[in-house]
A and B are shown apart, each in its own frame.
Chain A
Amino acid sequence: MMLVERYQPAMLRVALMYVSTRAVAEDVVQDAWVGVLKGLDGFEGRSSLRTWIFRILVNTAKTRGQREARSIPFSSVWTADPDAEPSVESGRFLPPGHPASGRWAEPPVGWESTPEERLLSKETLAEVSRAIDALPPNQREVIRMHDVLGWPSADVRNALDISETNQRVLLHRARAKVRRALEGYLGAERERKA
């Protein structure tokens, strides 16, 4: 009983990463618990119980999410080629052949001129949220677990069954894209004011 109380809120948040509505997410969590109960006899204790429960949950939620065919743009799943998406557009650096090749040609403009209350406003957060929604699914799940829910890296890679390196790469790509979205958003706003 305590186990349910303890994990339920976190499980629901994770389920909501994969399915579109709260009702379906609740359903997924329930199915996951059933899976946990069914599998309990076979649980060998090779991972912690918590890790094991969340793995079952993630798998249950993924399956349901796929069945729902929820807004996973086909292209975004298949553009995971690391070389195809640098953190910053290569055009913003001095090109090969230039004496200072690889240094900034167009460095980022600091956000100090944006007032704190603007930076932390609901509108800016909505932009962050939109940027995260637009990420490829694997990047989205890592940044949500790590940076939104605040899970330690070890918990994220255990729940998703990915390597430490892979987890860090996905997290970095996700953060880099959110930063780019913010840069575009705050920059456009600066220009409107100017």
Chain B
Amino acid sequence: MNCIQLVELVTDYLEGSMPAEQRARFDEHIAGCDGCTTYLEQFRITIRLTGMLSEEQIAPDARETMLGVFRDWRTSP
């Protein structure tokens, strides 16, 4: 495994969806490569930052509208 191959496999590695043998080769490469170690670290930071993006809060009036739909549905013949 070289660097140009490794950068395509980082999500497989982080999601744990990699065969054991490939994982061993990935670990082996990382152990001896500063560039790929940095790349992996940046990928982790990227995922962390993405997870910090604010989630939309539901507006109370929207929920009321929805509950209204259900009420109408239940009471319709």
Contact = CB atoms under 8 A, between A and B. Distances in A.
A179 B73 CA distance: 47
A175 B43 contact: yes
B2 A179 contact: no
Contacts of B73: 37
B12, B36, B49 — most chain A CB neighbours (10 Å): B49
Interface in B22-77: 33-36, 38-39, 41-43, 45-47, 49-53, 55-59, 62-63, 65-67, 69-70, 73
A33 B38 contact: no
Contacts of B47: 147, 175
A16 B7 CA distance: 31
B8 A12 contact: no
Interface residues on A, range: 35 or more
A26 interface: yes
Contacts, number: 135
Interface string A137-174: 00000010001111001000000000010001001100
A58 B4 CA distance: 35
Interface in A24-64: 26, 29-30, 33-34, 37
A179 B8 contact: no
Contact of A109 (B8, B38, B50, B63): B38
A34 B69 contact: yes
A9 B58 CA distance: 5
Contacts of A188: none
28 contacts: A8-B62, A12-B56, A12-B58, A29-B66, A30-B65, A33-B69, A34-B69, A86-B7, A87-B7, A87-B10, A88-B39, A102-B4, A104-B3, A104-B36, A107-B35, A107-B39, A108-B35, A108-B38, A110-B38, A111-B42, A125-B52, A128-B53, A148-B51, A168-B11, A168-B12, A171-B15, A175-B11, A183-B42
Given A4-B66, A93-B4, A128-B49, 4 more contacts: A12-B58, A168-B17, A175-B43, A182-B49
